Amino acid sequence: MARINDSYLKLKAGYLFPEIGRRVGEFTKANPDAQVIRLGIGDVTQPLAPAVLKAFHDAIDDLASTDRFAGYGPEQGYGWLSELIIEKSYKPLGVELKTSEMFISDGSKCDCANILDIFAMDNVVAIGDPVYPVYNDTNVMVGRTGEADDKGHYQGIVYMPFTEANNFVPELPQEKVDLIYLCFPNNPTGTVATKDELKKWVDYAIANDAIILFDAAYEAFITTPGIPHSIYEIEGAKQCAIEFRSFSKTAGFTGVRCGLVVVPEELMGTTADGETYSLNKLWNRRTSTKFNGASYPVQRAAAAVYSDEGWAQVKATIDYYMDNARIIREGLQSAGISCYGGVDSPYIWLKTPEGLSSWDFFDKLLQECHVVGTPGSGFGPAGEGFFRLSAFGDKENVTEAVKRIKEKWGK
Ligand code: MLT
């Protein structure tokens, strides 16, 4: 019989969102008439922008034509898409990139997981707590950790608490680490880091020969001027950071699937012999072998996001979600519930009322208000006592959910 990868057995719980789905499924089965409002997983609800849809349709029509048919594309993505992203999304930030430094993919979740392929197992990894579960779980899966302790922390990982006390920007690790996951605007807390705060991380990474894995999936939701959209806005970051971006939340591509990874050419790692080696070359090699590129119509649809018309439409949807975030934030505050985020991010991180545990609040909110959110402890033990609400719902539903919460918990 084939041996399995035993590391999977170390994983404490099922992946968070299917677990929530299971509980909600049980509730709706038992309560078929309940009008359940889902503000749990950060899944978008509004349709694709018309300009994006048109590009998508046109690209499908290309596939019906012998002249315009597209077969395998470049594994790294089409140059015309990378050029557009660099021009429209990075240049305005003062960040110069080459197309050879950008890898278009089928989404950030896979990229955040796949990046581990190019790093040795004995790297020490630093991960936030609470955190997007993919960073943690994929390190367990590849075998980089020991067992989990009672709190749910895996042996061998350096955890960086995101707390009210540190304003949800973690302290630098005391020990030397090699790989550091940072996500800003942060999932799940919805909070952001300033340039000065990110500069400390870049300085630490350079001083310790560490690599920052910077997840910028929510950068399009930043509204406060001066908050960095990219790690490369920080001097020195090209020597020490890989950046992940996504069209999922920015342009409603959660089902369409498209993301990107930036691996600067000057970014180096070391071989077992202590020689320096280009991470860009390694990621390119990995991509060419294990990936055949995001599909042609998807990349054409992604390119349309950057047309003037496309961006105006996409931006209007982002504004719609951010208005939902405002409704949730203000509603919670008026009910006397402390909360964070929701200004530069579509997530609101609230302190559970009455000192309830995160899962107790989840159950109460579901049973009594018929509203679904995400328990903070599902993102890590430091998330205990917190709860995440997503602003990606339909406005009417979001307003109704806030009304129900206020009726239940408002003073
Ligand atoms: C979330 O709700 O945290 C995200 O939707 C998950 C993801 O992007 O994979």
Task: Inform me whether the pLDDT recorded for 411 exceeds 70.
Answer: no
Single residue among 260, 282, 307 that ends a domain in this structure: 307
Out of 17, 247, 392, give the residue to mutate to test ligand 1, the one with the largest number of ligand atoms within 8 Å of its CB.
17
**Residue 343 belongs to what domain range?**
7-47+309-406
- Based on the fold, state whether residues 11 and 102 are members of the same structural domain: no
Q: What is the pLDDT of residue 12?
A: 85
109 CA: nearest ligand 1 atom: 9
| Ligand 1 binding pocket mutation candidate from 41, 250, 390 (most atoms within 8 A of CB) | 41
Say whether both 93 and 188 belong to one domain. Answer: yes
My answer on whether 249 and 389 are in the same domain is no
Bridge-partner residues for 349, per DSSP?
Answer: 340, 388
The answer to whether residue 2 sits within a structural domain is: no
Buried b (16+ CB within 10 A) or exposed e, 85-120: bbeebbeeeebebebebbbbbbbbbbbbbbbbebbe
The number of domains in the chain is 2
Instruction: Give residue 95 CA to ligand 1 midpoint distance, Å.
Output: 27
Residues 313 and 301 in one domain: no
Determine, yes or no, domain membership for 115: yes
- Please tell me the distance between residue 71's alpha carbon and the centre of ligand 1 in angstroms: 31
Residues 272 and 394 in one domain: no
Q: What is the mean pLDDT of the chain?
A: 96
What is the domain-level CATH number for residue 279?
Answer: 3.40.640.10
* 9, burial (CB in 10 Å: exposed 0-12, middle 13-18, buried 19+): exposed
pTM: 0.97
Which domain-ending residue is among 264, 287, 307?
307
CA–centroid distance, residue 108 to ligand 1 (Å): 10
296 and 315 in one domain? no
Q: Is 139 in the pocket of ligand 1 (CB under 6 A)?
A: no
pLDDT digits (tens, 9 = 90+) for 188-228: 999 999 999 999 999 999 999 999 999 999 999 999 999 99
* DSSP for 269-301, written as a single string: EE-TTS-EEEHHHHHHHHHHHH---S-HHHHHH
Of 197, 274, 196, 280, nearest to 239 (Cα)? 280
What pLDDT is stored for residue 34 in this prediction? 96
Give the pLDDT confidence score for residue 19 in this predicted structure: 82
> Residue 314 domain-assigned?
yes
